[in-house]
Each structure stands twice: as structure tokens, then as C-alpha cells.
């Protein structure tokens, strides 16, 4: 009986969490749109973005990144 009471109390506490509000309605709307994708299928968004960012960095800083990787690979 006591555990049932404690579980119901915990459930009420969980539902008391206020929704996220970033202060500006546009920011809140963008936040809710982006986080909904991360909640449903995070890897379909994160993996292509990380590959794209790595490729973009390679195009912009190509030779420097190769030298930095070899420096880090062999040590200082």
C-alpha cells in the first residue's frame, strides 16, 4: 500500500515538469521542432550532419587537418 502511494506521488512529480520555454516564441518553436527529430530518430540526423561537417572541414582546412592528424597520431 505504501509503495503504491509512493509511485503515485512520483508520477505526479513527473507530470509537474514545466515545458521548455526559451523566452522568445520563435526560439521555442525551433527548439521543439529540432528536438522532436532527435527523440524519434536521432541517428538519421546526427550521422549525416557529422559526416557533412567533417567533409566541410576537410574541404576548408584540408592540408592543415592532415598535418594535425599525423602530428596527433605520432605524438608531440
Q: What is the pLDDT of residue 55?
A: 92
In a domain, 71, yes or no: yes
For residue 40, give its domain range.
Answer: 23-76
Sign of CA pseudo-dihedral 26, 31, 36, 41:
positive
In a domain, 56, yes or no: yes
Q: Count of domains in the chain? A: 1
In a domain, 1, yes or no: no
One digit per residue, pLDDT tens: the chain, 76 residues? 678 888 887 777 766 556 677 788 898 888 888 887 777 777 887 889 899 998 998 898 888 888 888 888 887 6
Question: From CA 42, how far away is CA 59, in angstroms rounded?
Answer: 26
In a domain, 30, yes or no: yes
In a domain, 43, yes or no: yes
Q: What is the pLDDT of residue 69?
A: 84
Question: What letter does residue 40 receive in the DSSP assignment?
Answer: H
pTM over 0.85: no
Residue with cell 574541404: 59
In a domain, 46, yes or no: yes
Q: What is the pLDDT of residue 6?
A: 82
In a domain, 44, yes or no: yes
Amino acid at each position: 500500500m505504501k509503495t503504491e502511494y509512493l509511485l503515485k506521488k512520483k508520477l505526479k512529480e513527473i507530470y509537474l515538469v514545466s515545458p521548455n520555454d526559451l523566452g522568445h516564441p520563435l526560439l521555442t518553436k525551433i527548439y521543439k521542432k529540432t528536438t522532436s527529430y532527435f527523440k524519434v530518430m536521432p541517428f538519421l540526423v546526427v550521422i549525416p550532419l557529422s559526416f557533412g561537417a567533417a567533409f566541410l572541414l576537410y574541404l576548408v582546412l584540408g592540408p592543415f587537418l592532415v598535418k594535425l592528424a599525423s602530428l596527433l597520431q605520432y605524438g608531440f
